Structure 1
Amino acid sequence: MVELIQYLPILIFLGIALALSTAFVFLPIGAARLTGTYKPYADKLAEYECGFPAFEDPRSQFDVRFYLVAILFIIFDLEAAFLFPWAVSLKQTGWAGWTTMMVFLAELVLGFIYAWKKGALDWE
């Protein structure tokens, strides 16, 4: 039979984590109200986007090209992030690592050409 006292460190850890997370959320709010930085008024509470008031319905749909460009950016950005660790460890990986990265870059270039030919990067 396992004694419940063995779970006391976990319970203490959870209690400290809950107390700290609550403090990190509510202490700045309280400090803002006490120092006077919390002064709501109509202009401050108005919704804005990019520095000017919204002029359309917020539930309007974006053009699909916006999402496509965003996804392509994320894909190529993440794939470019693989180049940094590869460049740092190139001495250790040798020719096998270099060849593998060249195949990877060739696939990346082929994907870029495919997206370009399909018109995914065209913006009207």
Structure 2
Amino acid sequence: MFSLQGYEYFLGFLLISGAVPILALTTNKLIAPRSKAGERQLTYESGMEPIGGAWIQFNIRYYMFALVFVIFDVETVFLYPWAVAFHKLGLLAFIEALVFITILVVALAYAWRKGALEWS
């Protein structure tokens, strides 16, 4: 039936992983309450009565600070396995890591210069 041997389980995994979200959305549509009036339209604020509208604009600095954090957080994810296997990788991997760290330092200097790290 299959032209590639050993991929039956992978096909089964793909079918099941595709069916789970469809099943979840269909189940939600069938059993969810249909009423959209009254308190269901109010913004939830930890049990308190909402004050004002829910649509406020945040300062762009929050997003810039979060993006810089994510960039340097992902950097540690890439550097940790390199540091663990450092003695097996050799000189070429060391040079590649130096290039990677240099790019990150340049990005940090750019973000610092543009004021993305200022929290004022």
Is the structural similarity TM-score above 0.5?
Answer: yes
Is contact 2:111–2:117 with CA below 8 Å preserved after alignment? yes
After TM superposition, give the deviation of residue 96 of structure 1 in Å: 0.9
Runs (4+) off by over 6 Å = none
TM-score w.r.t. the length of structure 2 is: 0.60
**1:106 counterpart residue number:** 102
Amino acid at match of 1:58: A
Matched residue type, 1:121? L
Q: Distance in 1 between matches of 2:52 and 2:70?
A: 27
Q: Distance in 1 between matches of 2:50 and 2:67?
A: 25
In structure 2, list runs of 5 or more residues that go unmatched.
Answer: 3-7, 28-38
Cα 1:87–1:118 shift into 2, 3 Å: same
**TM-score normalised to the size of structure 1?**
0.58
The reply on whether 1:97 has 2:93 as its aligned counterpart is yes
Residue in 2 that maps onto 1:78: 74
Q: Number of paired residues? A: 105
> CA shift at 1:92, angstroms?
2.2
Q: Which of the pair has more CA radius of gyration?
A: 1
Q: Alignment identity in percent? A: 35
Shift in CA distance, 53/118, structure 1 to aligned 2, threshold 3 Å: farther
Shift of 1:84: 0.9
| Deviation for aligned residue 1:18 | 5.6
Q: Which structure would you say has the larger RCO, counting Cα contacts within 8 Å and 6 or more residues apart?
A: 2
The alignment's C-alpha RMSD in Å is 4.0
